[in-house]
Amino acid sequence: RVRQAVVSTQSTGSFLFFPHVLPKYTITIMTTETLRRELTGRMMYMDGGMGTMIQQLNLKEEDYRGQQFVDHPCPLIGNNDLLSITQPHLIKKIHKDYLEIGGADFISTNTFNSTSIAMADYQMENLIYQLNMASAKVAVEAAQEVTCDTGVVRYVIGVLGPTNKTLSLSPSVENPAFRNITFDECVEAYTEQTAALLDGGVDILMVETIFDTLNAKAALFAIDQLLETEKYQGWDIPIFVSGTVVDLSGRTLSGQTVEAMVTSLKHFKPLCMGLNCALGATEMRQFIRELGECTETFVSCYPNAGLPNAFGGYDDTPEEMAEILKEWADLGLVNVLGGCCGTTPEHIRAIVEATKHATPRKIHNKMDSYKLTLSGLEPMLAFEESNFINIGERCNVAGSSVFKKHIMNDRYSAALEIAKKQIMEGAQILDLNFDDGMIDGAKAMSHFVNLITCEPDVSRVPLCIDSSDFQVIEAGLKCTQGKCIVNSISLKEGVEDFLAKAAIVKRYGAAVVVMAFDEEGQADNFERKIEICKRSYDLLVQKAGFNPADIIFDPNLLTIGTGLSEHSEYGKDFIRATEWIKENLPRAHVSGGLSNLSFAFRGNRIIREALHSVFLSYATQVGLDMGIVHAGNLPLLKDIEPTLKQLCDDLIWNRNGEEITEKMLLYAEKVKGKAVKKNNSDEDWFKKPLKERLSNAIVNGIDKYIVADVKEFKETTDTPPLQIIEGPLLDAMGIVGDLFGSGKMFLPQVIKSARVMKKAVAYLTPFIEASKVEGQADKGTIVLATVKGDVHDIGKNIVGVVLGCNNYRVIDLGVMCPLEKILSTAVKEKADIIGVSGLITPSLREMVNIATEMNNRGMTTPLLIGGATTSRKHTAVKIWPSYPDLCIYVPDASRAVNVATSLVNKDAKYVQDVRKLYEKVQADHVKTLQKKEITPLKECREKKFKCTLPAPPPPNQLGVQVLKNYNLESIVELIDWKPFFDVWQLRGRYPNRSYPKIFNDKTVGEEARKLFADAQEMLSVLVTSLQGRAVIGIFPAWSEGDDVVIKHMKRELKCYMLRQQIKSGKEDVYLGTADFIGGPGSNDHMGMFCCSVFGSVSMATKYEDSGDDYNSLMIKSLADRLVEAMAEHLHLKIRKDIWGYDKEESFDAADLHSVKYQGTRPAPGYPSLPDHALKDVLWDVLDVDNNIGATLTDSYAMEPPPSVCGLYIAHPESSYFNLGLVARDQVENYAQRQGVNVSQAELALDTILGYEPNNNMN
């Protein structure tokens, strides 16, 4: 269907569509693409509240009835949608006021309640088509008239409201699984409404005021289904979606976060997503920012005119609302603005005037394209570096006899407790299966999913809807507001059936498990597994249009150890197939059911659990993403008895043929009923007094005996478990804290001590909970988090350990934490302090956002700032003014305890001293800016660096190269060890600062040697366990002003760069990176690279989860060193071979670390290239996501965290330099070149601005 639009070109031709209007303008075709271009090019505007305007008319019952409904049997006052039939002139005037007075681009049909569901309240279910048709026609007529009068195209949005019933919530407190409407009934109602709106001529369809995502799914399902019918097939109808956050928790009424809602609905590919209603502009800002960070669509927002007052009115004036929304627009947060409840044409006009010159939000295409995104009440992302995802198996009638009994006996509340327990034990997804001949699967599935939905502790995680009966799967999908997994479909019934089921799954927006079955049966060997998976993948991607990231293969994990030779390769074949899928089927995921593997040993829990853990250790290394497991029953590898571990190894890899099964059976008999005994070598330890043993264990970091000693202390002294913690254990930790504070103990030792303490507390915790005694008294509660957009956590983790050692209760929220999660957790946990950390410069902006929001909310919780890019100066100048007296910079872990103690004790003198210090820093900063002689950009360009030596030769190899399975052992010799010791806060004094001289330092030398020895031991494991991957490329390039243009595959891409404006050195020269690249026609080149180390995060997390912070931090710090060594090694290969401009180079590692080689490899975010946005170009040109699996967060942090990227510049005169401060003239020019507003450029360059920005600047 082609919709028509009027454009502002004079015409003398006939006017076909509006016979009542004189022809002024020509008719041109308008498509979704033209609307997309308009949204890209300028801010656009919706109308305001229809209900607000109707209320001002003070209409009476007879006005609503009109002539048509005089005899209607029930009251009609308040049925605003009916006025489109009975008083169409009033509705049309409201539309035209928003268009003419307000200047809106979009008007919304008066159909918020025009479904049979909502109209049942007025006994008008039979009038739905007429209501929607009338509303559409009156809106279209108003839009056409104003379009013809002004020459500016106006659009009509057909509105589908939420109805007055919810699919995710029960209207009965007594019966939480009850629903008073079904998904199918909702789809039917929305289908009827949509058809009438389309027939009435609307341009856009919008599902709005979403307070229950499942209702919205039904609406979008109806639209999608209708547009495939013969009548509407091919109609070009853009879809808008707008949710409603009901309060400052940032959740919808049905409990989803904004990001979870987006995840649940994005498969419908709306053109625009946004928020409306419930909150005013002030309260909604943080949630619009959050929505923008997780969507690849245009973003809209039409808030209320403030929160309702005591009389149900709205108090924000047009000017107040416009001022707030102008801030949003200047920050590039939105594309479409408008108003909801309480807003009038005057509000819209004020918003238009305040924001019309702003640059609209740029769509980010890097968000989730290469990740599996799932959601319950909260989102869950699975990506290359994610840990193994545990899918809980106990809510499966085939996997749990207890669960089955509860379902058979209608004890759903008891069954729900099993689901809760799985979540507590670590399940991240719940598998639900009700396949049993004595159970009505569809009914049980619907009932249990509805019950789960009302239990937030369970429904926060995604579901895996599991059944061999596709009707049961659909029953589950119709009750699930989140994005779930369907388990499963296969080619068993042929291609037609496979694609039909895939289309249904896709319409519901679920990911899908694909079993390795086809028409011939189950794949039971490697060749058949990969053949079926490849065929299924091609069908799903090419025929069904599936997002490859939503495809999860189960290559059939079959039983081993049966004694049958034909079964002996099953484990090995699964691992091989997993590796093949990850390498050959881009972005697909792999899952498996672990209980199948060990089924031959059913009844022997020790064997089964050990076999599962050993198998996972191999399968996850080659890419197994998830599996259906009993999350609470996976032992750590180090805890498995060595003989058993070796037997498991042999069984999985089919070593020793049939003998291995016999050996395993013999071992199983041996371990039955045997207790673990102490070794004779333990005698010396146990001769010491018990209390001394506890203290020695913690102070010296010895965990071998701690559980046995704590158990003995508890039993022999009859001391309550809480008093053991508060007594001998905390006394020992006090010694640790004193030694660390006095410099007599070092960070590696502290972390080892913390590991022992955690192990002791973990043993005592169940006893404390059983006795229902309140938790340990502590000095205070501290919430720690790495801010959203950043994935680096080493420093934060160290601070957490040190604070924990000093008796603070630490709540670590991990990495990538959104603002709302940090603040809501702090309020919920009654935190005494919040600590935020970040490594990359965009994290500094998020810290400012957090401080500002805390101030806006009137919070008084102190905020600690830390991380590699933070500083006292930045905190004082940029963050502290947003949250004065309560924002403190903490340079490292050793200072954290003193700062925390001062704040928790409300030390007024300390706060006053900080204020004086920060005010001085601010004053010094202003003086520095005033003293700095910043040269005008024009003059700097005239005095740019001019190369005098010849350009480097052309490269030996052009284009992109991918290097997977990088040999990590070969690069160990290139590790720069100084940063490693810095991370562990071991710093020698001159002349013993660097490696290896640090070993000679009198103070830290001995501990440095111990740490280095531990590092070597761990490194020997990591180089064979982790995987290095790299992608590099060299391309024709030329400078264009201050920028560099590269050419790749017939595309020309610009790398935007900056120039010094403060003279460096004695020469009157102002450097820019582009100075080292020849101009157009120079036949010059530039390289790019990205390298990553995969596997360290999951490995470190396993240690962390077991309380071993020492080895966790060891892995993370060594992975960082390995990826830096890989970058060094790659650059060496570039110079000597791939580019080959310095083939004779011969430097040792120390020379390389001292940069004695020719050329440079500057990285985005570093001194000469401060804008991280340059990474977008690298990711695009090198296709990093697809080629090596590394991704970017919305703040340009790289995942996995051990990742490095940058440029290769080969000119012999190229050098590393510090850009320094830049002036307003360069920032304005930089913004203009990129096509963004100045405020956005200032945010990107915040740390190098040589002036105080004007936040109101467009």
Q: Which two tokens stand for residue 1179?
A: 């990711």
Residue located via tokens 């820019």: 1072
Of 592, 587, 627, the closest CA to residue 384 belongs to: 587
User: Which residues touch 630 (CB under 8 Å, ≥6 apart)?
Assistant: 392, 393, 394, 425, 595
- Between CA 278 and CA 292 the distance in angstroms is 19
Query: Strands 1027-1040 and 1084-1094: what pairing?
Result: antiparallel
DSSP-derived letter for residue 676 is P
843 is catalytic: yes
Identify residue 1077 by its one-letter amino acid code.
I
Are the C-beta atoms of 571 and 597 separated by less than 8 Å? yes
Burial tier of 358 (Cβ tally within 10 Å: 0-12, 13-18, 19+): buried
- Between CA 652 and CA 610 the distance in angstroms is 12
Are the C-beta atoms of 831 and 811 separated by less than 8 Å? yes
1148 is catalytic: no
Output the CA torsion sign for 406, 411, 416, 417. negative
- Between CA 1134 and CA 1151 the distance in angstroms is 17
CA atoms within 13 A on the CB side of 132: 30
Q: Which two tokens stand for residue 39?
A: 């949204």
> Of residues 518, 790, 1042, 1185, which has the active-site annotation?
790
Residue 939: φ, ψ to 5°:
-65, -40
> Of residues 630, 792, 1048, 1131, which has the active-site annotation?
792
DSSP-derived letter for residue 860 is -
792 is catalytic: yes
C-alpha distances (whole Å) from 886 to each of 772, 788, 880, 916 are 36, 21, 8, 13
Are the C-beta atoms of 895 and 877 separated by less than 8 Å? no
Q: Which two tokens stand for residue 541?
A: 């991607």
> Of residues 843, 902, 1092, 1117, which has the active-site annotation?
843
Of 136, 97, 107, the closest CA to residue 45 belongs to: 107
- Between CA 91 and CA 111 the distance in angstroms is 11
Of 325, 313, 322, the closest CA to residue 345 belongs to: 322
User: What is 873-915 written as a DSSP string?
Assistant: HHIIIIIGGGSTTSEEE--SHHHHHHHHHHHHTT-HHHHHHHH
C-alpha distances (whole Å) from 431 to each of 366, 413, 464, 467, 630 are 30, 17, 4, 10, 11
Identify residue 27 by its one-letter amino acid code.
I
Q: Which two tokens stand for residue 651?
A: 């069984």
Residue 1086: φ, ψ to 5°:
-145, 145
User: Which residues touch 281 (CB under 8 Å, ≥6 apart)?
Assistant: 303, 306, 316, 321, 324, 325, 328
User: What is 1109-1139 written as a DSSP string?
Assistant: HHHHHHHHHHHHHHHHHHHHHHHHHIIIIIS
Q: Which two tokens stand for residue 792?
A: 């680096």
Are the C-beta atoms of 1139 and 955 separated by less than 8 Å? yes
Output the CA torsion sign for 657, 658, 662, 668. positive
Q: Residue-wise over 583-613: b if at least 16 C-beta within 10 A, else e?
A: eebbbbbbbbbbbbbbebbeebebbbbbbbb
- Between CA 441 and CA 432 the distance in angstroms is 11
Q: Give me the helix-helix angle, 794-805 and 1109-1133, nearest 10°.
A: 160
Kindly list the catalytic residues: 790, 792, 843
